[in-house]
Amino acid sequence: MPSAVAHEKLAARACRIRRLRRRIAAAVLATFVLAWGVVAFDGSMGAEATSVASTPTTTTTSTDASTASSAEDSAATMTTRQS
Amino acid sequence: MSEHAFWITSRAAGIIALLAASLAVAAGLSRRGRDWRVVHESLSLATMVALAVHALSLLGDSYLKPSLADVTIPFVSSYERLWMSVGIVAGWAFVILGLSYYVRARIGIQRWRTLHRFTALAWVLGIVHAVTMGTDAGTAWFLVTVALVALPAGALLVRRLTPTPVPA
């Protein structure tokens, strides 16, 4: 029956198109995830905050603790931006 | 990392929009049957989704803090005004011209075909936007990846625009 054959052909084509669309969507999504990862780990992040801090240190130079010096560095924060 | 999530998402979506648009243009220009039309349509829709993510995820960026108007209306944002506007115009042109396919009967097929040709111009403007203000535009991986899809599409576009000599 020609109409049955035509119907089968149409159904097969619809199935092929659905599969093609699904594959393209999956490929685009996978590429997005890959691009996200590359951008995230590439380095140029935009806003970068680098903290250079040293913990407060106390140095005792004599055993009787009569002379003690302490040095304390305040935390320094440098912010840079590359857009 | 989480503080940069919106920024990274916007950049990744921009890259995807550029790649998908380039492949969509190439598929559209290749004219190789009905399956290619499906590929062209699917990639165009993917481009539109990526463009929406590219623009809207910027709204969450804590550094730029753009408004909705900044990312949707040309010449509103003060940040890289010209190239940002080029990108916005290209994005809107791509979306409007792309979606016009679904109302082509109402527009008139011939008129729609004429309009549809301007999608290539939107694609070119998108490349200009990416190269001029893209954060990753200076990296080798970005340039190589974009060249791999944009150059074949560009070659197909040049071939299409070149008048075919009429045989004597």
Classify residue B168: in a domain, yes or no. Answer: no
Residue A46 in contact with partner chain B when CB distance is under 8 A: yes
Give me the number of domains chain B comprises: 1
Give me the number of domains chain A comprises: 1
Euclidean distance between the first and the last CA atom of chain B, given in angstroms as a whole number: 65
Range of the domain at B97: 2-158
Residues of B in contact with A44 (CB under 8 A): 135-136, 139
Classify residue B165: in a domain, yes or no. Answer: no
Residue A48 sits at φ, ψ, to 5 deg, of -120, 130
Q: What is the pLDDT of residues A21-58, one digit of tens each?
A: 999 999 999 999 999 999 998 766 654 443 444 444 44
Among chain B residues, the shortest Cα distance to A81 is held by B63
What CA–CA distance (Å, rounded) separates A44 from A80?
11
Question: Could you tell me the pTM of the whole model?
Answer: 0.79
Classify residue B107: in a domain, yes or no. Answer: yes
Residues of A in contact with B7 (CB under 8 A): 45-47
CA angle, B67 then B69 then B71, to 5°: 80
Distance from the A43 Cα atom to the nearest Cα atom in chain B, whole angstroms: 10
What ipTM describes this predicted complex? 0.88
Classify residue B153: in a domain, yes or no. Answer: yes
Block residue for tokens 């240190």: A57
Q: What is the pLDDT of residues B57-95, one digit of tens each?
A: 999 988 888 999 999 999 998 888 899 999 999 999 999
